[in-house]
Amino acid sequence: MPAPELPEAAHADLDSMLSRKFGKEVANYFSGPEPQIPLRPSKLTAPGSPLNRVSFLRTDHTFLSRALKHPTTSFLLFNNLAPLGRDPTKLEYVSYNDVKPLIGEDPYSQTEEELISSYNSARTIPQLLFLGLDESSKSQSKSSSSSTARNTSDNSTFTYNIYAGAPFFALDVTPRGTHTAPANSLISTLQSRGLSFLEGRMHTSLPASTAAIYAQSRALLDWNARNPFCAQCGQPTLSINAGTKRTCPPTDWASLPSATSTSTDAAKPTQRPDCATRKGIHNVCFPRTDPTIIVAVLSADSQRVLLGRQKRWPQYWYSTLAGFVEPAESVEEAVRREVWEESGVLLGRVVIHSTQPWPYPANLMIGCVAQAVGAAPPDSAGSSSSIQRAGERQENGEGENVDARGNRGTKGTPEEIMLKHDPELEDAKWVSLEEVREALRVGTHNLLEGGGMGEGYREGALRLPPRTAIANQLLEAVINGGWNGLGGVKI
Task: Name the site residues for Zn ion (rule: CB under 5 A).
Answer: 230, 232-233, 248, 275, 277
Q: Give yes or no for a contact between 424 and 312, defined as CB atoms under 8 angstroms apart.
A: no
Rounded to a whole number of angstroms, the minimum distance from the CB of residue 119 to Zn ion is 12
Buried b (16+ CB within 10 A) or exposed e, 227-237: ebebeeeebbb
Interacting residues of 477 by C-beta distance below 8 A, sequence separation 6+:
26, 296, 353, 369, 483
Which DSSP helix (H) or strand (E) runs through 90?
Answer: strand 90-91
Q: Computed from CA positions of residues 174, 135, 239, 220, in that sequence, does the dihedral angle turn out positive or negative?
A: positive
Distance (Å, whole) CA 304 – CA 85: 43
Cβ distance to Zn ion smaller for residue 236 or 412: 236
| Residue 208 dihedral angles phi and psi, to the nearest 5° | -55, -40
Rounded to a whole number of angstroms, the minimum distance from the CB of residue 250 to Zn ion is 9
**306: amino acid identity, one letter:** L
Question: How many other C-beta atoms are found inside a 10 Å radius of the C-beta of residue 84?
Answer: 22
Q: How far is CA 162 from CA 76, 466, 479, in A?
A: 25, 40, 45
Rounded to a whole number of angstroms, the minimum distance from the CB of residue 277 to Zn ion is 5
Distance (Å, whole) CA 70 – CA 96: 8
Rounded to a whole number of angstroms, the minimum distance from the CB of residue 159 to Zn ion is 39
| Residue 338 dihedral angles phi and psi, to the nearest 5° | -60, -45
Q: Give yes or no for a contact between 219 and 359, defined as CB atoms under 8 angstroms apart.
A: yes
Beta strands 304-309 and 427-432, pairing class: antiparallel
Cβ distance to Zn ion smaller for residue 277 or 320: 277
Cβ distance to Zn ion smaller for residue 248 or 339: 248
Cβ distance to Zn ion smaller for residue 11 or 278: 278
Rounded to a whole number of angstroms, the minimum distance from the CB of residue 457 to Zn ion is 55
Rounded to a whole number of angstroms, the minimum distance from the CB of residue 245 to Zn ion is 13
Number of C-alpha atoms within 13 angstroms, CB side, residue 106? 14
Distance (Å, whole) CA 71 – CA 68: 9
Cβ distance to Zn ion smaller for residue 233 or 461: 233
Cβ distance to Zn ion smaller for residue 247 or 388: 247
Cβ distance to Zn ion smaller for residue 150 or 246: 246
Cβ distance to Zn ion smaller for residue 23 or 269: 269
Rounded to a whole number of angstroms, the minimum distance from the CB of residue 239 to Zn ion is 14
Q: Give yes or no for a contact between 325 and 291, defined as CB atoms under 8 angstroms apart.
A: yes
Cβ burial of 419 (10 Å; 0-12, 13-18, 19+) is middle
Cβ distance to Zn ion smaller for residue 204 or 277: 277
Cβ distance to Zn ion smaller for residue 225 or 233: 233
Rounded to a whole number of angstroms, the minimum distance from the CB of residue 237 to Zn ion is 7
Quickly list H helices, 403-485.
Answer: 433-442, 470-480
Cβ distance to Zn ion smaller for residue 276 or 448: 276
Rounded to a whole number of angstroms, the minimum distance from the CB of residue 179 to Zn ion is 23
Rounded to a whole number of angstroms, the minimum distance from the CB of residue 233 to Zn ion is 3
Distance (Å, whole) CA 322 – CA 398: 30
Distance (Å, whole) CA 370 – CA 353: 10
Rounded to a whole number of angstroms, the minimum distance from the CB of residue 375 to Zn ion is 54
The 3-state DSSP class for residue 222 equals helix
